[in-house]
Amino acid sequence: MMPPPVPPSAPANPASFTVIGMLWRWLLGFTFVARVRGLAMGTVSWGRALVTAVPFLWLILFFGLPFLVVLKISFSQAVIAQPPYTPLLTWAEDGIMVLRINFQNYLLLVQDSLYWMAYLNSVRIAAIATVACLLLGYPMAYAISKAKAELRVPLLMLIILPFWTSFLIRVYAWIGILKTNGLLNNVLIWLGLIDQPLPLLHTEFSVLVGIVYSYLPFMVLPLYATLSRMDESLLEAAADLGCRPGKAFLTITLPLSMPGVIAGSMLVFIPAVGEFVIPDLLGGPNTLMIGKVLWTEFFSNKDWPVASAVAVATLLLLVVPIVRFQKAQEESNKKAEELAR
């Protein structure tokens, strides 16, 4: 009998960013199933399986299992007890096991406008912050990638340097800068640009400043990685063919740096949607964000099931569009490949 054919590896396409897609597929277990089947059929070696098992086990232990716990709680009811929710499975009389699944928490999310308003607002703020990070981060990453070789490492260090200080302290510092008689207002008054201090703190603006400030390195680093890998001779070829530098940037550099743009945007957008600390410290009573709602449900209302439902819904609402986006991208790549044949 013929040995089973080894599946051809997907053609390497520099334009598609698949790391996050792979991560999600890992989460959803597609790769795991493929590996187990590969092991059974002898197309995947044990050594390779062991190496890939390490991150997979990590994800199961620290993401998969906790997520299942949260999922379980989201289907229970809140009670004043320890723990503060009802179990899903209970023993009734005569050895009958009762499974109680409570959809009330999810129904609440749909019925009460507070939740989806908070969610939409989070997505909106995260999107604005992502665009701002991109507009600020792209020139920074571009400048670093074009800097002299001996300057590049120090410049990258400056990008990473803020991580040496606690995230919380750095966000607190912005209160000092943005408050009514804070640094920024004082400077603006001293310059004579304003007479009255501007209400900067506890607004959506201050939340955006906080998010952009905190997540900028996550935009700059992947952008730098793609820009610094770019073949300089491509720009020379463009110039040689009569393309001015500005147009060469738009037709060559920008499209080729799209993997970095997508990676950076995901790295900023996804955590920014669920951000809690920044809106809590810098935001006002009107800045409604899903992370803050979740925190309130957990710690102020002590309603763990609703909080869990919020967490699950937020995750699904983020994952599903991203996976779909990945799929669409892969399919369009595949189509382009087929067209080429």
Partner 1 sequence: MPVAQGVRASQSLEAWQDPKARPIVQIENVTKAFGPHYAVDDVSLEVFQGEFFSLLGASGCGKTTLLRMLAGLETPDSGRIVIDGVDMTHVPPYRRPVNMMFQSYALFPHMTVEQNIAFGLRQEGATKPQIRERVAEMLRLVRLEPYAKRRPHQLSGGQRQRVALARSLAKHPRLLLLDEPLGALDKKLREHTQFELVNIQEQLGTTFIMVTHDQEEAMTMSTRIAVMDEGRILQIGSPSTIYEYPATRYVADFIGSVNLFDGRVTGEADGVLVIHCDEVGATMAIAHGEPLPAGAPVSVALRPEKMTVTDVKPESEFNVLRGVVSEIAYLGDVSIYHVALPNKTLVRVQLTNLARHTSSPLTWEQEVWLTWEPENGVVLQS
Q: Point out which residues bind partner 1 (CB under 8 A).
A: 11-15, 231, 233-234, 236-244, 247, 252, 255-256, 336-337, 339-340
Q: What angle do CA 296, 302, 305 make, to 5 degrees?
A: 95
State both tokens at 161.
């340097």
CA-CA distance, 325 to 72, in Å (whole number)? 28
- In the complex with partner 1, the residue whose CB is nearer, 249 or 295, is 249
CA-CA distance, 277 to 294, in Å (whole number)? 12
C-beta of residue 271 within 8 angstroms of C-beta of residue 264: no
Phi, psi of 166 (to 5 degrees): -60, 135
- CB 319 to partner 1: min, Å: 28
- CB 147 to partner 1: min, Å: 19
- In the complex with partner 1, the residue whose CB is nearer, 173 or 250, is 250
- CB 340 to partner 1: min, Å: 4
Residue found under tokens 């967490």: 311
- CB 337 to partner 1: min, Å: 8
Q: How far is CA 324 from the centre of its chain?
A: 15
Q: Provide the residue count of the chain.
A: 341
Q: What angle do CA 146, 270, 140 make, to 5 degrees?
A: 15
- CB 244 to partner 1: min, Å: 6
- In the complex with partner 1, the residue whose CB is nearer, 82 or 233, is 233
Residue 19 neighbours by CB under 8 Å, 6+ apart: 263
Helix orientation angle between 304-340 and 104-111, rounded to the nearest 10 degrees:
80
- CB 326 to partner 1: min, Å: 19
CA-CA distance, 302 to 20, in Å (whole number)? 34
State both tokens at 125.
């703020």
Residue found under tokens 């006002």: 284
Phi, psi of 86 (to 5 degrees): -80, 145
- In the complex with partner 1, the residue whose CB is nearer, 196 or 233, is 233
DSSP-derived letter for residue 290 is H
Cis bond before residue 279 (omega within 30° of 0): no
- In the complex with partner 1, the residue whose CB is nearer, 121 or 226, is 226
- In the complex with partner 1, the residue whose CB is nearer, 87 or 245, is 245
- In the complex with partner 1, the residue whose CB is nearer, 148 or 244, is 244
Q: CA separation (Å) from 234 to 139, 142, 229, 245, 248?
A: 19, 16, 12, 12, 9
- CB 17 to partner 1: min, Å: 13
- CB 239 to partner 1: min, Å: 4
- CB 235 to partner 1: min, Å: 9
- In the complex with partner 1, the residue whose CB is nearer, 11 or 47, is 11
- In the complex with partner 1, the residue whose CB is nearer, 146 or 247, is 247
Residue found under tokens 């928490």: 105
